[in-house]
Amino acid sequence: MIPLFEDLDLSSPGVVIALFDRAADASLTAHCRRGSIDVISATEPGPARLIATGDIHDNTVALAKLATLAGMTATGMTAAGNPPTAHLTLHEIIHSDRLSNGMDFSYRALARAAVLKAAFPEHVHTLLANHELAQVVGAGITKDGINVVAAFNAGVEYIFGDETSAVTAAINRFIYAMPLALRCTSSAAALDVASGGDLLCAHSLPGPLAMDRFDVTLLERATTDADFIPRQGSAHMLVWGRHQRPADVDLLAKRWGASLFILGHEKAPTGAMLLCDHAVILNTDHDQARYLDIDLTNPPTAAQAVERAQLLADIELA
């Protein structure tokens, strides 16, 4: 485990609540936050490099490897005394395939992501995903016959007992504070939605049945409570979308000035999959887990992104 995660008492309600509260504040007050999304530019001071990822699903080894790739350590600086060497996206962090007596303890992976966000508010981008949203709204997801929301709740209650409500409230604050996307621009026009050619990382995009109800201004404004309502809110439609039509992806790319969407949510057996001309799918949770190491001054096309996606298994932890 990298030093950043050592000596964390993740069974202490006070410690865990403080971690999630600091991360929620960092998410909302970071200079990169613009309404419902984070925005970074390759022309700004700092790294013009991004480690882009797919679903994590409690893969704490993957989480540690990704943090190492981005040059993140316990002190908030690299060993050379410099800031992190890259930006990092993280999403779909909770709901493990590895249960203990029917309980899911993936709140611990979420807490480690919170540590990263609090330590590096301008460089770590914890994106809202459908599993996190399902957890806070209490909408059940069944995976391999298991209600993963209930299993997560059982894990939190087992560890924290009478403090469960307070810990759950802190988890919810962090999740609701998450940006919906990371927008990366290679120009100085970071706030110009029509600038074009930008890279946009999100958990997913709305599916075909939601497109006529989806509010395309969602990424240009702050979210409201209505955006998170299951099957009705635009944030819910965004993170839950599947089987997107190329024409709809093209429409969103044009509307949002994006040349490439890097998404998760869908299964990619080899870790990276071409969705269409403007979008790729990454998975960072299984034995073929992959990530993208992107030069933001020269972002790839979708086809290039699939070719350049690297195996996380090739990275060794010290």
What pLDDT, on a 0 to 100 scale, did the predictor assign at position 188?
A: 43
Please tell me the predicted confidence (pLDDT) of residue 2.
56
Q: Write down the pLDDT at residue 187.
A: 59
Q: What is the 3-state secondary structure (H, E, C) of 59-121?
A: CHHHHHHHHHHCCCCCCCCCCCCCCCCCEEEEECCCCCCCCECCECCCHHHHHHHHHHHHHCC
Residue ranges of the domains in the chain? 11-314
Task: Assess if CATH 3.40.1390.10 describes domain 11-314.
Answer: no
- Given the DSSP bridges, would you call strands 146-147 and 142-143 parallel, antiparallel or unpaired? antiparallel
Q: What is the pLDDT of residue 142?
A: 83
Residue 167: what pLDDT? Answer: 98
Residue 212 burial (10 A CB sphere; 0-12, 13-18, 19+): exposed
Q: Could you give phi then psi for residue 223, rounded to 5 degrees? A: -80, 160
**pLDDT < 70: residue spans in the chain:** 1-4, 74-82, 187-196
pTM of the predicted structure, to 2 decimals: 0.93
C-alpha dihedral, 231 to 237 to 243 to 248, nearest 10° = 130
- Confidence at residue 186, expressed as pLDDT on a 0 to 100 scale: 75
* Cα dihedral 144, 150, 156, 157 in deg (nearest 10): -130
Average pLDDT, the chain: 91
